[in-house]
Structure 1
Amino acid sequence: MSDTARRLDGRIALVTGASRGIGRELAKLLAGEGAHVVAVARTVGGLEELDDEIQGAGGSATLVPLDLTDMAGIDRLGGAIAERWGRLDVLVANAALLGVLSPIGHIEAKVFEKTMAVNVTATWRLIRSVDPLLRRAEAGRAIVMSSGAAHSAKAFWSLYAASKAACEALVRSWAHETDTLPLRVNSVDPGATRTAMRKQAMPGEDPASLPSAAEVAARILPLAFDAVTETGGLFNVRENRFLAYRTPS
């Protein structure tokens, strides 16, 4: 894409879970649109590879190795962004754990607690940390990854489903709180995607039957643009449309 056509020139975009999968591909696409990407992940090597790709394509990034169970670290991240740039234009809350597929009564407490900590508590902590920065942006955009599991609640998926349902509730309430602002916040159901998490959940599935993370990320990317008017909705990637909208109070 030519520099004159880039839709996020000068913007700051924060992406969690940026070292692989959909987060990695979204980070690259955001950088390709001119955003400076703050890439967050646990894996330093994965972040460095991402940085090489972004720089090789003419983009720029700041790497933040951070385990999202480090709640104080999430707080410091918001402070660091505020000190350096004074605002945040795009948030992609992508990092998550599958946890375990198991009958509810067989889930170990430590597995339940860690999964909820990463998927829910860290998402809330991240929102709390950057909400003031997104409010300062001319057209703040927040994208919080969810899952169809939040609605299907299939047998053995209780832990992951509950965590993603909680994230959707956070987004819907956040949208109510900010609906008079330029800030738009939405959940995304990416659908079945060729990622490591999907392979963990469905080891017998043929990955070639699924869309790639790059294909899915390309459909999510427009939610970061100024043209988005929906807020508090659920964007379904497979159908390429919003399925649920925030009900005005």
Structure 2
Amino acid sequence: MPPSDQLRLILVTGASRGIGRALTVALAAAGHHPIALARTQGALEALDDEITAAGGRVTMIPADLTDREAMARLPEALAARFGRLDGFVANAGSLGDLTPIADIQEKMWDRTMALNVTANAFLLTGLDPLLRQSAAGRVVGITSSRARKFKPFWGPYSASKAAFEAVFLTYAAETEESALRVNLVNPGPMRTAMREKAMPGEDPASLPPPAALAPLVLDLLSPEEDRHGQLVTFSA
């Protein structure tokens, strides 16, 4: 376990499953203190049990990113308990419905944008002061090639991830002269529930597991990492 002055406090959203869960476990295994945010209480409790049994530490936050009032209170709560935040992994997201543009339903569109764009943008806004309290604040946004490669029926998801990238890369440009480092990661095809929903005929065993992505993201969260404003694509 690293000395206390090297321990990193990292907030991970969508931490109860898939990529978020794998990153949370990897952070704890590396001796850091992940702060795991997700909607599903039971899945968070199981994650807590796993990390604690392995000798790690973790803080659980059962919350919905689209609950604006709860997210507005979160930075203040983190400031009162920790005083700083060394990293933020914006992982939570929704696929929405795969549908032709002509058939988009307003409710689904609003829900997808609310989680993938609006919630992440305002959470980043609230966390900015805490990240600046760290000697080496790091932000990683988990994105998708669909933000740049357009395919029939993927309109809502593609639009939301393109906007997500715009928010995070603009933030990177605004923090160029600070100690913060902000990057995007494109995991590519990965063995997740979202991928299975999008590609139901695909063999999951042919894809890398979420844990394979963890070393890359942990590198981007480290104080030594100097990349900034980049889109980093994972290669298995």
CA distance in 1, matches of 2:215, 2:188: 13
1:191 counterpart letter in structure 2: G
Is the 1:9–1:33 Cα contact (8 Å) retained in structure 2?
no
- What is the DSSP-based 3-state SS (H/G/I as helix, E as strand, rest coil) of the residue aligned with 1:238? coil
- Deviation, 1:68, is 1.2
Match of 1:205 in 2: 202
2:13 counterpart letter in structure 1: T
Match of 1:171 in 2: 168
- Deviation, 1:8, is 8.6
Residues 1-249 of structure 1 mapped to structure 2, 5 A cutoff: 3=1, 9-238=6-235
CA distance in 2, matches of 1:176, 1:214: 30
Question: What CA deviation, in whole Å up to 9, does each residue of 1:13-37 have, x standing for no partner?
Answer: 1000000000000011111222211
Structure 2 gap segments, 5+ residues each: none
Once superposed, which parts of structure 1, at least 4 consecutive aligned residues long, lie more than 3 Å away? 6-9
Is the 2:220–2:227 Cα contact (8 Å) retained in structure 1?
no
CA distance in 2, matches of 1:33, 1:111: 38
1:125 counterpart letter in structure 2: F
Is the 1:146–1:188 Cα contact (8 Å) retained in structure 2?
yes
Change in 2 beyond 3 A, CA 1:200/1:8: farther
- Deviation, 1:221, is 1.9
Is the 1:9–1:34 Cα contact (8 Å) retained in structure 2?
no
* Cα root mean square deviation, aligned: 1.5
Identity %, equivalent residues: 50
Alignment coverage as a number of residue pairs: 236
- Deviation, 1:220, is 2.1
2:182 counterpart letter in structure 1: V
1:150 counterpart letter in structure 2: A
CA distance in 2, matches of 1:216, 1:32: 15
- Deviation, 1:219, is 2.6
Is the 1:141–1:184 Cα contact (8 Å) retained in structure 2?
yes
1:170 counterpart letter in structure 2: V
